[in-house]
C-alpha cells in the first residue's frame, strides 16, 4: 500500500486515523509525526488568547477586574522593559499590536457609549496612578508611561493630563517615574497645542503642578531629575498663556541661578519670554540683562567642557588636539579655544537663537530666496521686550544674539564661539 505523504494528510484524516490506531498497518504507524508548533508561535498564540480575553472582559464589565490588572501587569508593566526580547520572540508587529490593543481598550472601546468609555478611562487612570507608586521600578515607570498613552476618542484627555502632572510634581516619587509622567504630559500638551493655543481647561489642569516643579529644589546631578525640569519648562512654554507672579518669579530665579544646568536656564528663559505679562510682577529690564549674561555663560560653559575633555585626553596619554584651530587669529583672543564638535557648536547656536526669542520674538517673512527674515520694525510676537516702554536695547540684544546664532551655524568652530562670547559680553559692558 502506498502511503500519502504526511504533510498532505488533511487534519480530519489525522484525527480519524489516530482514533483507529490499532487498525493501522504496521508501516503506517512508523510515519513521521506532524511537526510541533515552534515556541515563538506558541507564545504568540498564548498572547493573542490573553489579549482577546482582556479586551472582552473590559468591554463586558466597564472596569478593571483582577484578571485584567494581572494581564496588564504581566505584559505591559513588567515586559515593556524587555521590549527587544519580546520583539525577537513574538515579532515586532505582534508586540506592538498587543500594546495598541491595551492602549485602545484602556482609553475606552470605540463601540461603547461615551459615559462607558469615560468610566473605563477613569478606572484605568486611577489604577495606573497607584501602580506608579509600586516598589518595582520597572512597574512604576511603565505605569506612568502607559497612563500617558491614554486618549479620549483619539485626542488628549485633560483628566489624564491632570493626573500625569500630579505624578510629575510628586516629590516623594523616584525621578525616573516623575520623568516618565512628564514625558507623557508633554506629549499630550504638544498634541493639544499643535493647531491651536492650549484650552483654558488644559492650562488650568496642569499649570499648578508645572509651577511646583519649576519652583522646586534644584535636581542635582540626577539626569532623570534634570530632564524632568527641562521638559516641564518646555511644557510651560506651550500650555501657559500668562505666567502668574509665582511662576514668573520661579522662572527668573532659575534663569539667573549659576548652579543650575545651562539647559535648564536657557529653557527657563524661553518659558519666561513666552509667558511673562505686564501683571506677572517681574522687572523686565533686569530680566533682559540676565538673558545677555546667560548667553555669555552658556558659551563659556561650552568652551570649558571642551577644555576639560582635552585635558582628560592628555592625562590619559592620548594626543592633545592643537588648541589653535584653523582660522583663529594669532593674538587678541581673550581665551584659547579647545576643539568643539560641530554638533556642539550647533547646540550653542540653538541656545543663542532661543535666548534671542526670549528677549524679542519678531514676525518672520520669507525673502526672495525663500529664507525667513525677522521684521524688527513691526510689533513683536513674543519676548520680554513687549513689557518695556523703551525696548530699543532689548531689540538690539535680540538682533545680536540672532546674528551670532546664524554665524555659528555657518561657521561651527570653537574659534567662532570664543568670538561670539566676547562680543556678547562686550555688549553687556556697553549697555551698562
Which residues on neighbouring strands pair with residue 372, listed in sequence order?
366
Q: Using a pLDDT cut of 90, give the percent of the chain over it.
A: 62
Q: Residue 4: which pLDDT band, with cuts at 50, 70 and 90?
A: very low
Q: Kindly state the average pLDDT of the residues 113-121.
A: 88
Confidence band of 32 (pLDDT split at 50, 70, 90): low
Specify the pLDDT at position 330. 40
The CA angle 219-223-225, to the nearest 5 degrees, is: 35
- Per-residue pLDDT of 54-86, as tens digits, reads 999 998 888 889 999 999 998 889 877 666 666
With a cut of 60, say whether residue 17 has pLDDT above it.
no
* Structure confidence at residue 384 (pLDDT): 97
Average pLDDT (268-297) is 97
Query: Residue 365 forms beta bridges with which residues?
Result: 373
166-187 burial, b at 16+ Cβ within 10 Å, e below that, comes to bbbbbeebbbbbbbbbbbbbbb
pLDDT band, very low/low/confident/very high, at 269 (cuts 50, 70, 90): very high
| pLDDT at position 400 | 96
Is the model's pLDDT at 149 over the cut of 50? Answer: yes
Percent of the chain with pLDDT over 70: 82
Q: Measured between alpha carbons, how far is 183 from 148 in angstroms, rounded to an integer?
A: 8
Q: Give the domain 53-241 fold.
A: 1.25.10
Among 4-13, 290-299, 302-311, 367-376, whose mean pLDDT is lowest? 4-13
Give the residue carrying C-alpha cell 493630563.
161
Q: What is the pLDDT of residue 12?
A: 32
* Residue 157 backbone dihedrals phi, psi, to 5 degrees: -105, 115
Higher pLDDT, 38 or 9: 38
Closest by CA to 235, choosing from 289, 190, 291, is 190
pLDDT tens across 191-215, in order?
A: 999 989 999 999 999 999 999 999 9
C-beta of residue 363 within 8 angstroms of C-beta of residue 381: yes
The mean of the pLDDT values for the chain is 84
Backbone angles phi, psi at 229, to 5 degrees: -65, -45
- Check residue 44 and give its pLDDT: 81
Is the per-residue pLDDT at 276 higher than 60?
Answer: yes
pLDDT band at 272 (very low <50, low <70, confident <90, very high): very high
CA quadruple 238, 244, 249, 252: dihedral sign: positive
* Closest residue by Cα to residue 390 from 284, 274, 287: 284
Q: Parse the chain into domains and list their residue ranges.
A: 53-241, 291-431
Q: Does the structure show a pLDDT above 70 at 228?
A: yes
Give the pLDDT confidence score for residue 1 in this predicted structure. Answer: 39
User: Tell me, what's the pLDDT at 426?
Assistant: 87
Residue 36's pLDDT band, with cuts at 50, 70 and 90, is low
Give the mean pLDDT of 155-168.
94
- 64-70, Cβ contacts within 8 angstroms, sequence gap of 24 or more: 64/120, 64/123, 64/124, 64/127, 69/127
Top-ranked range on mean pLDDT: pick from 98-112, 278-292, 307-321, 361-375: 278-292
Banded pLDDT at 148 (limits 50, 70, 90): very high
CA 119/CA 125 separation, integer angstroms: 10
How much is the pLDDT for 6?
39
Q: Does residue 329 surpass a pLDDT of 70?
A: no
How big, in percent rounded to 5, are the helix, strand and coil portions of the chain? 70, 5, 30
Residue 430 pLDDT class (50, 70, 90 cuts):
low
In 332-379, beta strands by DSSP E: 363-366, 372-375
Higher pLDDT, 156 or 265: 265
- Give the dihedral of Cα atoms 219, 221, 224, 226; nearest 10 deg: 50
Amino acid at each position: 500500500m502506498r502511503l500519502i505523504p504526511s504533510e498532505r494528510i488533511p487534519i480530519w484524516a489525522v484525527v480519524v486515523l489516530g482514533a483507529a490506531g490499532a487498525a493501522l498497518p504496521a508501516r503506517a504507524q512508523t510515519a513521521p509525526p506532524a511537526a510541533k508548533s515552534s515556541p515563538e508561535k506558541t507564545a504568540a498564540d498564548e498572547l493573542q488568547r490573553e489579549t482577546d480575553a482582556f479586551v472582552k472582559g473590559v468591554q463586558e464589565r466597564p472596569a478593571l477586574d483582577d484578571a485584567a490588572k494581572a494581564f496588564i501587569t504581566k505584559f505591559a508593566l513588567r515586559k515593556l522593559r524587555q521590549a527587544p526580547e519580546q520583539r525577537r520572540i513574538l515579532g515586532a508587529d505582534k508586540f506592538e499590536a498587543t500594546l495598541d490593543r491595551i492602549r485602545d481598550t484602556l482609553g475606552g472601546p470605540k463601540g461603547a457609549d461615551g459615559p462607558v468609555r469615560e468610566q473605563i478611562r477613569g478606572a484605568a487612570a486611577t489604577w495606573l496612578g497607584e501602580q506608579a507608586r509600586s516598589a518595582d521600578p520597572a512597574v512604576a515607570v511603565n505605569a506612568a508611561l502607559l497612563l500617558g498613552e491614554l486618549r479620549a476618542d483619539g485626542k488628549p484627555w485633560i483628566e489624564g493630563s491632570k493626573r500625569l502632572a500630579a505624578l510629575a510634581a510628586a516629590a516623594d516619587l523616584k525621578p525616573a517615574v516623575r520623568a516618565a509622567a512628564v514625558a507623557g504630559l508633554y506629549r499630550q500638551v504638544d498634541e493639544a497645542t499643535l493647531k491651536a493655543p492650549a484650552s483654558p481647561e488644559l492650562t488650568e489642569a496642569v499649570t499648578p503642578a508645572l509651577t511646583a516643579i519649576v519652583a522646586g529644589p534644584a535636581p542635582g546631578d540626577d539626569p532623570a531629575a534634570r530632564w524632568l525640569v527641562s521638559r516641564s519648562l518646555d511644557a510651560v512654554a506651550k500650555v501657559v498663556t500668562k505666567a502668574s507672579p509665582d511662576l514668573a518669579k520661579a522662572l527668573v530665579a532659575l534663569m539667573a541661578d549659576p548652579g543650575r544646568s545651562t539647559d535648564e536656564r536657557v529653557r527657563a528663559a524661553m518659558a519666561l519670554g513666552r509667558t511673562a505679562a505686564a501683571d506677572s510682577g517681574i522687572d523686565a529690564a533686569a530680566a533682559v540683562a540676565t538673558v545677555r549674561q546667560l548667553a555669555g555663560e552658556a558659551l563659556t560653559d561650552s568652551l570649558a567642557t571642551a577644555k576639560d575633555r582635552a585635558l582628560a585626553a592628555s592625562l590619559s596619554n592620548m594626543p592633545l588636539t592643537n588648541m589653535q584651530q584653523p582660522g583663529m587669529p594669532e593674538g587678541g583672543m581673550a581665551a584659547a579655544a579647545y576643539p568643539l564638535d560641530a554638533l556642539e557648536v550647533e547646540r550653542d547656536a540653538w541656545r543663542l537663537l532661543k535666548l534671542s526669542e526670549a528677549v524679542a520674538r519678531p514676525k518672520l517673512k520669507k525673502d526672495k530666496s525663500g529664507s525667513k527674515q525677522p521684521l524688527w520694525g513691526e510689533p513683536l510676537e513674543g519676548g520680554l521686550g513687549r513689557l518695556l516702554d523703551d525696548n530699543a536695547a532689548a531689540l538690539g540684544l535680540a538682533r545680536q544674539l540672532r546674528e551670532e546664532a546664524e554665524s555659528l551655524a555657518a561657521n561651527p568652530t570653537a574659534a567662532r564661539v570664543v568670538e561670539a562670547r566676547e562680543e556678547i559680553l562686550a555688549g553687556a559692558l556697553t549697555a551698562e
